[in-house]
């Protein structure tokens, strides 16, 4: 089951499984940091849905940074992913269950 909310950088993001018509053309996911909302296409296979959700989580994590150097990206991703995993155990359980199928 996809979690309904995730804590990202100290902000609670709502997770919405959306119909294709509610997403931008050619997109299967979207992150709107102004609304603290992540949308994922509801008809994706579970493993693809997880991949898209994590992709959008990374957008939420990095959206406020102007990152051009690889080292900066790795440092930020490391810190944010540790925080994300720590504060979102339901998502981690969902990811592990999906990936073990």
**Average pLDDT value for the chain:** 89
Give the residue numbers spanning the domain of 58: 5-99
Average pLDDT over residues 87-93: 93
Which residues does 58 contact at the CB level (< 8 Å), separation at least 6? Answer: 77
- Of the candidates 46, 35, 55, 56, the residue with the CA atom closest to the CA atom of residue 97: 46
Dist. CA 101–CA 98, nearest whole Å: 6
> How many structural domains is the chain composed of?
1
The predicted structure's pLDDT at residue 27: 92
Say which CATH number the domain at 90 has. Answer: 1.10.10
Over residues 18-37, the pLDDT tens digits come to 999 999 989 999 999 999 99
DSSP state letter for 28:
S
pTM of the model: 0.75
Which residues does 65 contact at the CB level (< 8 Å), separation at least 6? Answer: 72, 76
């Amino acid at each position: 089951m996809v979690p309904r909310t995730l804590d990202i950088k100290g902000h609670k993001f709502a997770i919405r499984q959306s119909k294709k018509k509610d997403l931008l053309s050619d997109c299967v996911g979207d992150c709107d940091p102004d609304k603290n909302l992540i949308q994922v296409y509801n008809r994706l296979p579970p493993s693809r849905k997880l991949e898209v959700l994590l992709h959008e989580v990374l957008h939420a994590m990095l959206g406020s940074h102007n990152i051009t150097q690889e080292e900066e990206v790795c440092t930020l991703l490391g810190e944010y992913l540790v925080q994300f995993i720590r504060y979102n155990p339901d998502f981690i359980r969902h990811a592990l269950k999906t990936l073990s199928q």
